[in-house]
Structures are given as structure tokens and as C-alpha cells.
């Protein structure tokens, strides 16, 4: 029996480090084999600010994942987030010298290389060059030009860049924990892998991952990714508001948010009270849930306003028919989807990781959408092709590339 390819993924978030191990089951879905989670340390707004602390958190999570799956983790897909992530779309054109032969994979690689050539500062590097569409002789777009005939081939790509320092620090942190980095993936792209449907991608949708300290966005239009962004505001800001206004310890504010938090107040809970830890001579004090909801609602509306402004800035506010798909830990605030739908005037749904089996009781919540998506990204057919001028092209892999990618994969039995 042929051994399945196994992938490990590391999601280094602001509140937790999640290490997920998975392969593909008989139905073609992602199967989770092991999970390791540890409290995060050494990160601020998605960027490492203390390598030693972050490395220790990663090492702890990796060790737990190895114990869970009974395998040794040698390398992994690694997610990256933070305000340093930027994206843009670019177009390239090449001539096909011999019109009597069909367009080849080499021609496709050449036009992608042309479309991936952009000028960026020396302190930034390209993370992804993702094809958005091809045009043969300037006609209607096609999904794959290989085998077609024409004298001119155009391609448009979505290019994601990140700060060199952030990438280097992340790589050093992961390798310091004893794990090699297979690929660094922008987290909104990872989250989209396991929460979006094909119909949503075709009709236009924005997946919004509201995490601990950053809110990541990936906009899809006509089946392909069109925009990637990361906003410096998320769930930890809600906790900070509660801790400051209610004058209670951070841990109590976080528990209050997770257990009783609502994105809007209702008459049923307006006068209900709950006890929380307090500073000073009082060890405990009562707070009204209606007041808690008002505090959270103000921050929720600010996050939604920033999302709306970003969509309007890039021209997709009126083009995403499927609206928003919310995921991430902070998206679990009760009533958030309803408030978003009302404020933004578009369809909104909360999404849990889909198309995966195994350990769903442990990682079935939106908090693990990015982690599972990173595993899916490594397992699906879009394996990075060989580098050209230092750039990775995310194009469908040939059989040869798949076989090469499977050699020395991330896990070995202990």
C-alpha cells in the first residue's frame, strides 16, 4: 500500500502556538493525526519580538504534537501574519515563437516569471506568486493555457510580499525549535483553504480571520485570490478594553469575553450580572452583562469599519456577492456575524474548519482554521514549482514535482 504524504503545520499566533499533523484520507479530505498547542509568548501584533520566548513556545507545541501523532516532526509549513504583509496584482506578457506547436509548461512558467517581476525595496521579499488567470491572444481568460495554440500569452498574478526581517526572525525561531521550514504561507491564504466553498470564491468573498492581535483578510473574485491584507486590531484589543474599563486582571477580562461576551446588548441580558476578579481591597465584583456588551460592541464596530474601509480602498466592497466569511478565535463572540451583516450591508457567516476528519472535538472551532488550512495547503495539488530568480510560483504541480516534494517530507516515524 502506498504511504500517504504527511504534513506538519505551525501556526504561531499571538495567544497560542498550534502544531497540526495531517495527511489525506480515502475521501480526499484532510485527516488530522496529531495536535500540539502551547500558550504563545514573544509575539506582538503577529511579529516576533522575543525569539527566545517564541522558540520555547514552538518547541513545547511541537513536542506535544509529536506525542499526539507518534511521529518525529522534522519540517513544517509555517504561517506568517502581521501588518508588514502587502499584496498587489501584476500582469506579464510573452510571445510564443512557434505558433504551430501548443503552449507548453515551460511557456506557462515563463509568463508567470514575467508576471512575477515587480520592483520591491531590499527590505522586503516575495512570499507568493499566485496565478489569477491566463489569456491566449487576448481572448477570454482560461484556467490553464497548456496545450492551446497562440502567438501571445498573458498572465496575471497575485503577489504577496513580507518584511525580510520578519521572515528571517520567524525562520530562526522555528529552526531554533528543531524544525525546518518547508514553506512560509501568509495566514489568510491558509485560513481560506478550509473555510471557503468554490461557489463563494467564484462569486466573490472575503475571508476575515480575527485572531489575537491581528485581523487577516483574503479577498477572492472569479475563483482566484485578488487581495491580501492584515489589520493591526483583533481580539486582544477587546480584552484590553474590558480590563481597562472594568479595572480587572487581564485573565479575568479574557474569561469574561469568551464566556459571556456579546457583540451587542439585548434586553434579556441588560441587567444580568456576573462576578469577576478585581484589583484593590475587593477580590471580586459584579458587572452587568449589558455593560460588557457595550464595551465589546464599540471595538467590534471599529474592526468592522476597518474591514469596510479596506474593501472599499481596493474596490471590492460592491463586488463580493458572497460577502464575508468570519473565522479565527475572536470571531466566536456571540452576535458578531449579525452585527457585521447589519453594519456592512452584505452576507456574513461564521465558518469552522471544513473538509477534515480526525480530532474534530479538539480543533473543530474557528480558532484552528488557519492551522488546518496550512496543512491543507501543503497537502493539496498546488505544490510550489521550482524557484525562478528567487520567487516561488504557486502553480499546479506535475507528477515529477509531486514525487520530488514527497521525498524527505516533514515527518518520520520515531
Confidence category of residue 13, pLDDT binned at 50, 70, 90? confident
pLDDT by residue (tens digit) across 143-187?
899 999 999 999 999 999 999 999 999 999 999 999 999 999 999
Across the chain, what does the average pLDDT equal? Answer: 87
Q: Which three cell numbers stand for residue 70?
A: 507518534
Cell output for 14: 499571538
Q: pLDDT-based confidence at 379, cuts 50/70/90? A: confident
Tell me, what's the pLDDT at 355?
67
Query: Among 101-115, 212-226, 379-393, where is mean pLDDT lowest?
Result: 379-393
Domain spans of the chain, in order of start:
86-163, 197-350
d(CA 93, CA 35): 45
Q: Tens digit of pLDDT for each residue in 95-138? A: 999 889 999 999 999 999 999 999 999 999 999 999 999 999 98
Q: What CATH class is the domain 86-163? A: alpha beta
- Please name the residue that has the C-alpha cell 464596530: 301
**pLDDT reading at 21 higher than 70:** yes
Query: What integer pLDDT is reported at residue 404 of this predicted model?
Result: 35
- CA dist list (Å): 141 to 23, 133, 161, 185: 33, 6, 25, 27
Tens-place pLDDT, residues 75-87: 999 999 999 999 9
CA distance 241 to 253: 9
pLDDT, tens digit (0-9, with 9 covering 90-100), for 27-42: 777 889 999 999 998 8
Which is higher by pLDDT, 238 or 270? 238
**Is pLDDT at 11 greater than 80 in this prediction?**
yes
- pLDDT tens per residue across span 267-276: 888 888 999 9
pTM: 0.86
Across-strand partners of 80?
186
Percent of the chain predicted with pLDDT > 70 = 90
Among 236, 164, 179, smallest CA distance to 13 is for: 236
Q: Which three cell numbers stand for residue 354?
A: 471544513
End-to-end distance of the chain based on CA atoms, in angstroms? 20
Q: Which residue has the cell 529552526?
A: 175
For residue 382, is pLDDT > 50?
no
User: Same fold for the domain at 86-163 and the one at 197-350?
Assistant: no
pLDDT of residue 44: 81
pLDDT for 394? 58
Bigger pLDDT: 316 or 400?
316
pLDDT score, position 175: 95
Per-residue pLDDT at 29:
78
Burial of 81 per CB tally in 10 Å (0-12, 13-18, 19+): buried
Q: Give mean pLDDT, residues 324-337.
A: 94
Q: What is the pLDDT of residue 381?
A: 47
Q: Which CATH class is domain 197-350?
A: alpha beta
Q: What is the pLDDT of residue 267?
A: 80
Going by pLDDT thresholds of 50, 70 and 90, the confidence category of residue 5 is: confident
Among the residue ranges 47-51, 150-154, 170-174, 253-257, the one predicted with the least confidence is 47-51
Amino acid at each position: 500500500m502506498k504511504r500517504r504524504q504527511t504534513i506538519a503545520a505551525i501556526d504561531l499566533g499571538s495567544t497560542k502556538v498550534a502544531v497540526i499533523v495531517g495527511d489525506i484520507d480515502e475521501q480526499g479530505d484532510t485527516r488530522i493525526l496529531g495536535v500540539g498547542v502551547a500558550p504563545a509568548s514573544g509575539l506582538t501584533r503577529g511579529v516576533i519580538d522575543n525569539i527566545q520566548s517564541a522558540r520555547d513556545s514552538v518547541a513545547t507545541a511541537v513536542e506535544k504534537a509529536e506525542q499526539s501523532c507518534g511521529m518525529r516532526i522534522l519540517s513544517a509549513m509555517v504561517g506568517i501574519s502581521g501588518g508588514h504583509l502587502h499584496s498587489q496584482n501584476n500582469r506579464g506578457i510573452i510571445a510564443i515563437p512557434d505558433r504551430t506547436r501548443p503552449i507548453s509548461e515551460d511557456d506557462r512558467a515563463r509568463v508567470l516569471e514575467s508576471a512575477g517581476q515587480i520592483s520591491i525595496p531590499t527590505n522586503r521579499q516575495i512570499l507568493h506568486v499566485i496565478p489569477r488567470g491566463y489569456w491566449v491572444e487576448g481572448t477570454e481568460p482560461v484556467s490553464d493555457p497548456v496545450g492551446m495554440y497562440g502567438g501571445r500569452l498573458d498572465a496575471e498574478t497575485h503577489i504577496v510580499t513580507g518584511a525580510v526581517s520578519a521572515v528571517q526572525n520567524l525562520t530562526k525561531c522555528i529552526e531554533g525549535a528543531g524544525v525546518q521550514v518547508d514553506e512560509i504561507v501568509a495566514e489568510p491564504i491558509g485560513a481560506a483553504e478550509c473555510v471557503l466553498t468554490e461557489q463563494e470564491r467564484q462569486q466573490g468573498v472575503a475571508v476575515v480571520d480575527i485572531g489575537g492581535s491581528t485581523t487577516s483578510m483574503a479577498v477572492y473574485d472569479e475563483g482566484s485570490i485578488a487581495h491580501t491584507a492584515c489589520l493591526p486590531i483583533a481580539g486582544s484589543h477587546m480584552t484590553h478594553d474590558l480590563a481597562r474599563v472594568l479595572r480587572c486582571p487581564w485573565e479575568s477580562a479574557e474569561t469574561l469575553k469568551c464566556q459571556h461576551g456579546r457583540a451587542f446588548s439585548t434586553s434579556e441580558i441588560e441587567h444580568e450580572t456576573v462576578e469577576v476578579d478585581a484589583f484593590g481591597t475587593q477580590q471580586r465584583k459584579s458587572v452587568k452583562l449589558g455593560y460588557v456588551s457595550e464595551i465589546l460592541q464599540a471595538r467590534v464596530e471599529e474592526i468592522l469599519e476597518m474591514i469596510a474601509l479596506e474593501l472599499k480602498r481596493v474596490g471590492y466592497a460592491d463586488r463580493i456577492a458572497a460577502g464575508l466569511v468570519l473565522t479565527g478565535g475572536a470571531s466566536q463572540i456571540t452576535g458578531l456575524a449579525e452585527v457585521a451583516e447589519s453594519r456592512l450591508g452584505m452576507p456574513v457567516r461564521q465558518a469552522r474548519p471544513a473538509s477534515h476528519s480526525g480530532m474534530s472535538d479538539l480543533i473543530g472551532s474557528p480558532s484552528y482554521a488557519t492551522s488546518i488550512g496550512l496543512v491543507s495547503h501543503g497537502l493539496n495539488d498546488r505544490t510550489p514549482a521550482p524557484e525562478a530568480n528567487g520567487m516561488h510560483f504557486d502553480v499546479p504541480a506535475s507528477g515529477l514535482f509531486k514525487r520530488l516534494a514527497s521525498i524527505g517530507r516533514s515527518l518520520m516515524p520515531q
